[in-house]
Amino acid sequence: MLNKEQIMEILPHRPPMLLVDEILEMDEEHAVGTLHLTGDEFFFQGHFPGNPIMPAVFRLEALAQVGGVALLSIPEFKGKTAVYTGIDKAKFRAMAKPGDTLRLEVRFVKRRGPMAVAEGVAWVGDQKAAEAEIKCMVIMD
């Protein structure tokens, strides 16, 4: 549905902090994206040498970016920036390692003006790698 170049037209993030490769599904209520881990990502260099594992907080960031693509695709938010306002109920399960593809599923459970709450799950194959309730806000200035 959206490739990396199209995602960068919506999100202000740029490599190395862009953590979404493609959006597979999207509407105003949900989005599904992927991140293909090559092993060249900056965080694998020091986390951990000889046993590279994607840091848990970056799994949450990848989820938030997928939600950000959906939120910032709404016409009134076009060209804006979305930021975290909170993270609740975060759980980290399966590891994400070089060669894995994260499937990032985000569903909005509440939206009011520029504020949103979403539930996100990051999958590696059929295993949950992370899940959380993500709260965010679109900066309207």
Alpha-carbon span 35 to 68, nearest angstrom: 15
How many CB atoms neighbour CB 97 within 10 A? 15
Catalytic residue among 13, 30, 36, 47: 47
Residues 6+ apart with CB under 8 A from 49: none
Alpha-carbon span 52 to 44, nearest angstrom: 5
Provide φ and ψ at 101, rounded to 5°.
Answer: -115, 125
**13 catalytic per annotation:** no
131 near 90, Cβ under 8 Å? Answer: yes
Catalytic residues: 47
